[in-house]
Amino acid sequence: MAQSSFVLTDWTTVAGQGSSTQVVQARPGWIQVGTQSDAVWVVEIKQRVSSPSVYVQTAYIDEDSVFQDISRLATISSHLYISRLATATTPVLGWLRWRVGGSTGSWSTTFRITGVLKNP
Amino acid sequence: MACRCNANGLPHIGGQARPGELLPWTTLRGASSSVTIVAPAALWVDAIGYREAVFGFEFREYTSGLQVVLQTAPVDEEDAFVDLVTHSASSTSVINHVVVAESATVPLMRYVRWKITHGSTAWATTLRLFAAFKRTR
């Protein structure tokens, strides 16, 4: 499996209340990573109220507690992320998913995440 | 070439390799500093076909100074194993170690196993280990 593109999520809007609220992608949408060591992904945020952050996470196994953040975007923008096994603190492991971390008051954000898994 | 997957099914040689648990949650204790516990042969992983790997270490408890060593060998013989990654327990969060083919002092060879040791006292730990093998040759 040399390369494969993915849509971690098409345009979606997530909303919540309070900084302790986070929304995690539902399990069926998580992407399983094969033997690819590198990844490139784009996080696009088109709308946000208050200041939520959009994170991409990775984990060895599909267990909630072991996911680790590998990117965070908290502005209305489009940002390209590059993860190389040779240099990343946390490379792409076995699974990918997104989560949104809330902020004070009522918050919302509209975003999309697409990318490519590849070997060098 | 025959596949030698460990009891947790890692890795799946001949198919798509799935990252997973090298060692599921396990509690181990050593009665003195001279006690070292090494993975039984049934849990050794056959990583043939993979050049690089990421290993994860997660603890629920550990004696300060505890070391988990991942070893690698070109053949499945006891004397052939050399240290690949040495991790000193220091956190209950998942800590990653990346083995990159081009820069590793000891590159990933065919077999991988774990070893737990402590240099100066009796020890105990509850831990699990993860592995993600990357980039087929």
3-state SS, residue B32: coil
Would the CB atoms of B20 and A94 count as touching at under 8 Å?
A: yes
Q: Mean pLDDT over residues B47-67, rounded?
A: 93
Would the CB atoms of B94 and A66 count as touching at under 8 Å?
A: yes
**pLDDT recorded at residue B1:** 39
**pLDDT recorded at residue B10:** 59
Q: In this predicted model, what pLDDT tens digit does every residue of B99-108 receive, in sequence order?
A: 988 888 999 9
Report the sign of the C-alpha dihedral through residues B37, B42, B43, B45, in that order: positive
Q: How far is A95 from chain B (nearest CA, A)?
A: 9
As for the ipTM of the complex, it is 0.83
Question: Is the distance from CB of A71 to CB of A55 less than 8 angstroms?
Answer: yes
Looking at the complex, does the CB of residue B65 fall below 8 Å from at least one CB of chain A? no
Q: Mean pLDDT over residues A101-116, rounded?
A: 94
**B16 — pLDDT class (breaks 50, 70, 90):** very low
pTM for the full predicted model: 0.86
* Average pLDDT over chain B, rounded to an integer: 86
Q: In this predicted model, what pLDDT tens digit does every residue of B72-125 receive, in sequence order?
A: 999 999 999 999 999 999 999 999 999 988 888 999 998 999 999 998 899 999
**pLDDT recorded at residue A3:** 78
Tokens of A84: 């190389």
Burial of A99 (0-12, 13-18, 19+ CB in 10 A): middle
Radius of gyration of chain A measured on its C-alpha atoms: 14
**pLDDT recorded at residue A1:** 56
**pLDDT recorded at residue A115:** 97
